[in-house]
């Protein structure tokens, strides 16, 4: 028999008791988080009105206020019956049935939903419904809207003033169709570009994200305390996804972030305090986990940090059926999420049963009435703050129905400037760029005349797939931009996606890259571009082999391993996902037709660009901040 030394035994026992009492790894220590003081918006008159209203509502009405449903599953008639707190349009093609519609149909629908929510038959109380949309790069679900470069491109532009303007324009276009709320900005700090939402993030580090958080929130919502805060040309913003979504293991969407608490606070959460101080009124909860615990049930972060430590008095909104991922929950039932601090549950399609189940959970005390009241209070406070009770129907509000302003030349000019500023020049051998416009240019690659591809996901539909150029009225493809840059100067642009030609060109511009995707559809196991096929590499090499100088333009939502493509091109430009204004690319590639200089490159990598197929920061990379200028080689 082995003799265990008494002191060893004591140590063992001590260790055992520590493990037994140790907090789970997902425990938060709120006092280690900085205290935040958002602008004081307290208004006694508003609070009194809120108290009165709250005291009049039935349990059913209260529960309805904490639910947001997708317009594909909740019709105006449903809103009339239930008086839901909010509706959202996910990736639907149209506001009611999933059919593509012209922009004015959205405003008609906004009036219908609003009227339904104000209907007082059956002794219901008139409470205006909130309508939220993912206006994440402009009002991107609306035909004819201005589509800005996705966030990763704005990160490259390093231009906070421009971002403020983009937010203002987006808010204005959202108002034109009668909507109240945009699910933006995304404040993720992306750590592994294999993540399918990399392009929704501005950067892989907090610096840019913090600066932009402020500009986006102020641009969308206006200044807290000002007369036009959340109204007029402004909308409600949403900081998302709280928190740690950009740091999940292997870049897996909705995965687990295992960084320690300090890293969560100092990196992933870094931009939230700035957004709160700028007055952001809603925070959307992440579908991911931290240390194994889903954020939708994380009271430590939602309640103890966001509410108590950060004094956030706006609405904590759940993400799409996010509650169903909690233990013991499903789409149509989740007291845990409500109790953990979610005020508005995105029960997107199962809202009806969610309503019935929550009503009985409040009756049985599983969801305390006080918690329900708190959530309702926050939702109603937001509606009062935004002036929705007194705003009249959406079509009568500021900017509504001003179709001339939707995708107006002035708005598009700002988007085009954003494209110019976002471009990053990785290579410019023998100073091939800038180009003289008086040349014969072959414009090749399947991205050359492909507006859906240059817009990426979250464009007209969730995934941005199966669309044509004509679905984006007034947008300009990259080829069209090149053609209008060279033609007035006496040059020619010939479109040839496959790179074939009958008359030998002076040079070729090859536009290629990723197909559109959104969210987990975009998760990839490797960053290698076109692993297996290498079709575009062959195209570049083929042109090069014929002695034709080649300019490569890459459309991408993330850094890719493109080492061979880089070698096969004389000049290499990362254009990210530039959106509707493809002309911004020719603006930088070509000198003006009148002979004056081209715009110079301004973009700098907003994240490390690996020079290998694996993600991560090791090995050979283009560093954060890399980006050539015409003055440099
Ligand atoms: C996304 C959110 C988005 C929501 C509504 C979710 O799947 O994660 O970013 O705002 O859907 O469309
Ligand atoms: C997306 C929505 C989309 C829905 C489709 C969600 O995850 O965020 O935008 O419409 O899935 O099922």
Q: What is the 3-state secondary structure (H, E, C) of 522-537?
A: HCCCCCECCCCCCHHH
pLDDT in tens, 522-540: 999 999 999 989 999 999 9
Order of strands, edge to edge, in the sheet holding 238-242? Answer: 238-242, 282-285, 315-317
- Residue 610 has what pLDDT? 86
| DSSP character at residue 436 | P
Ligand 2: lining residues by beta carbon, under 6 Å:
90-91, 320, 462
- Confidence tier at 99 by pLDDT (50, 70, 90): confident
To the nearest whole percent, how much of the chain has pLDDT over 90? 91
Considering 112, 134, 319, 471, which one is annotated as catalytic?
A: 319
CA distance 316 to 298: 12
Cα(155)–Cα(405) distance, rounded to whole angstroms?
Answer: 26
DSSP annotation of 515:
P
- Which residue is listed with tokens 């690319």? 585
Q: Per residue in 224-281, pLDDT tens?
A: 999 999 999 999 999 999 999 999 999 999 999 999 999 999 999 999 999 999 999 9
Test site for ligand 2: of 70, 90, 98, 459, most ligand atoms within 8 A of the Cβ? 90
Please report the pLDDT score of residue 565 as a whole number.
97
Q: Say which ligand is closest to the CA of 346.
A: 1
Q: Give the ligand 1 atom nearest the CA of 241.
A: 9
pLDDT at 17: 47
Cα–chain-centroid distance for residue 17? Answer: 45
- For 371, counting Cβ atoms within 10 Å of its Cβ (0-12 exposed, 13-18 middle, 19+ buried), the class is middle
d(CA 372, CA 63): 7
Average confidence (pLDDT) over 370-396: 98
Instruction: Give the closest residue to 230 by CA, choosing from 339, 354, 314.
Output: 314
Distance of CA 207 to the CA centre of its chain: 18
β-bridge pairing 345-346 and 289-290: unpaired
Let me know if 528 is a catalytic residue.
no
The answer, yes or no, to whether residue 98 has pLDDT greater than 90, is no
Q: How far is the CA of 184 from the centre of ligand 1 (A)?
A: 10
**Ligand 1 atom with minimal separation from the 287 CA:** 8
Asked whether 181 lines ligand 1 (CB < 6 A), one says no
Mean pLDDT of the region 140-145: 96
Ligand 1 atom nearest to 91, measured from its CA: 12
Mean pLDDT of 412-438: 97
User: For residue 61, how far is its CA from the centre of ligand 2 (angstroms)?
Assistant: 26
**In which band, very low, low, confident or very high, does the pLDDT at 613 lie, cut at 50, 70 and 90?**
low
Q: Report residue 211 as tokens.
A: 């600066």
Looking at the predicted structure, is the pLDDT value of residue 1 above 50? no
For residue 187, which of 120, 238, 115, 114 has the smallest C-alpha distance?
238
Does 521 contact ligand 1 (Cβ within 6 A)? no
Q: Is the CB of 520 under 6 A from ligand 1?
A: no
> Measured from the CA of 462, which atom of ligand 1 is nearest?
12
Is 519 part of the annotated catalytic residue set?
yes
Regarding the beta carbon of 169 and ligand 1, being less than 6 Å apart is answered no
- Which pLDDT value is given to residue 21? 63
Strand stretches in 324-458, DSSP E:
345-346, 424-428, 440-444
Q: Evaluate the omega torsion of the peptide bond into residue 262 and state whether it is cis, within 30 degrees of 0.
A: no
Parallel, antiparallel or unpaired: strands 293-294 and 289-290: antiparallel
pLDDT tier, 630 (very low <50, low <70, confident <90, very high otherwise):
very high
Q: Considering only CA atoms, which residue is closest to atom 2 of ligand 2? A: 90
Report the pLDDT averaged over residues 588-597.
85
Give the residue, out of 348, 349, 523, with the most ligand 2 atoms within 8 A of its beta carbon, to mutate for a pocket test. Answer: 348
**Residues ≥6 apart with Cβ < 8 Å to 196:** 251, 253, 517, 518, 519, 520, 521, 522, 523, 524
Shortest-distance Cα residue to atom 8 of ligand 1 = 319
State which H helix or E strand residue 508 sits in. Answer: strand 507-513
- CA 395/CA 361 separation, integer angstroms: 38
- What's the whole-number average pLDDT of the chain? 94
- Locate 62 and state its tokens: 């209260």
CB of 247 closer than 8 Å to CB of 257:
yes
The predicted pLDDT at position 633 comes to 43
Q: Is the CB of 513 under 6 A from ligand 1?
A: no
Region of residue 487 (phi > 0: left; psi between -120 and 50: alpha; otherwise: beta) = alpha
Least Cα distance to 135 among 163, 174, 164 occurs for 174
Residue 414, pLDDT score: 98
Count, residues in the chain: 633
Residue 523 Cα to ligand 2 middle (Å): 16
* CA of residue 348 to ligand 2 center, whole Å: 9
């Amino acid at each position: 028999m082995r003799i265990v030394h008494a002191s060893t035994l004591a140590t063992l026992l001590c260790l055992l008791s520590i493990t037994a009492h140790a907090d789970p790894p997902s425990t938060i220590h709120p006092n280690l988080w900085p205290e935040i003081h958002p602008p004081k918006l307290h208004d006694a008159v508003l609070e009194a009105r809120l108290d009165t209203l709250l005291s009049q509502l039935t349990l059913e009405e209260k529960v309805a206020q904490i639910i947001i449903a997708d317009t594909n599953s909740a019709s105006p008639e449903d809103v009339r019956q239930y008086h839901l707190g909010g509706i959202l349009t996910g990736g639907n093609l149209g506001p009611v049935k999933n059919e593509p519609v012209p922009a004015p149909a959205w405003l008609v629908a906004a009036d219908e939903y609003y009227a339904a929510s104000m209907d007082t038959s059956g002794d219901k109380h008139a409470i205006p419904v909130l309508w939220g949309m993912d206006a994440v790069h402009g009002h991107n679900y609306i035909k004819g809207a201005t589509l800005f470069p996705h966030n990763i491109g704005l990160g490259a532009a390093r231009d906070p003033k421009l971002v403020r303007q983009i937010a203002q324009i987006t808010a204005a276009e959202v108002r034109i169709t009668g909507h109240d709320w945009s699910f933006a900005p995304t404040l993720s700090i992306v750590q592994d570009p294999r993540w399918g939402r990399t392009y929704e993030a501005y950067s892989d580090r907090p610096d840019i994200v913090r600066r932009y958080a402020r500009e986006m929130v102020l641009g969308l919502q206006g200044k807290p305390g000002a007369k036009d805060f959340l109204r007029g040309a402004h909308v409600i913003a949403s900081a998302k996804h709280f928190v740690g979504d950009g740091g999940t293991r292997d870049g897996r969407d909705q995965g687990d972030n295992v960084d320690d608490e300090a890293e969560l606070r100092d990196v992933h959460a870094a931009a939230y305090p700035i957004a709160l101080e700028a007055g952001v009124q809603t925070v959307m909860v992440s579908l991911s986990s931290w240390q194994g615990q889903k954020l939708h049930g994380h009271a430590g972060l939602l309640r103890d940090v966001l509410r108590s430590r950060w004094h956030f008095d706006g609405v904590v909104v759940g993400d799409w059926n996010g509650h169903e991922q909690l233990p013991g929950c499903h789409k149509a039932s989740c007291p845990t999420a409500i109790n953990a601090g979610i005020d508005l549950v995105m029960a997107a399609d199962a809202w009806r049963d969610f309503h019935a189940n929550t009503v009985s959970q409040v009756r049985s005390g599983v969801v305390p009435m006080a918690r329900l009241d708190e959530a309702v209070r926050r939702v109603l406070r937001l509606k009062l703050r935004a002036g929705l009770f007194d705003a009249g129907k959406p079509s009568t509000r500021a900017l509504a129905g001003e179709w001339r302003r939707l995708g107006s030349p002035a708005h598009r000019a700002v988007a085009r400037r954003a494209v110019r500023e976002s471009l990053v020049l990785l290579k410019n051998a023998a100073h091939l760029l800038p180009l003289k416009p008086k040349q014969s240019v072959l414009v090749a690659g399947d991205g050359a005349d492909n507006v859906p591809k240059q817009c990426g996901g979250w464009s007209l539909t969730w995934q941005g797939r199966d669309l044509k150029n004509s679905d984006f009225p007034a947008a300009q493809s990259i080829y069209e931009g090149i053609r209008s840059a060279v033609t007035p100067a006496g040059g020619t642009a010939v479109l040839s996606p496959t790179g074939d030609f009958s008359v030998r060109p002076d040079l070729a511009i090859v536009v290629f890259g990723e197909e559109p995707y959104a969210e987990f559809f975009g998760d990839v196991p490797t960053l290698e571009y076109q692993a297996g096929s290498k079709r575009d590499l062959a195209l570049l090499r083929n042109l090069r082999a014929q002695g034709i100088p080649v300019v490569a333009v890459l459309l991408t939502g993330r850094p890719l391993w493109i080492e061979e493509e880089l070698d096969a091109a004389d000049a290499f430009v990362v254009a990210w996902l530039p959106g509707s204004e493809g002309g911004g690319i020719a603006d930088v590639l070509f000198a003006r037709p009148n002979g004056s200089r081209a715009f110079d490159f301004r973009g700098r990598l907003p994240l490390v660009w690996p020079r290998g197929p694996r993600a991560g920061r090791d090995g050979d990379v283009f560093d954060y901040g890399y980006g050539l200028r015409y003055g440099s080689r």
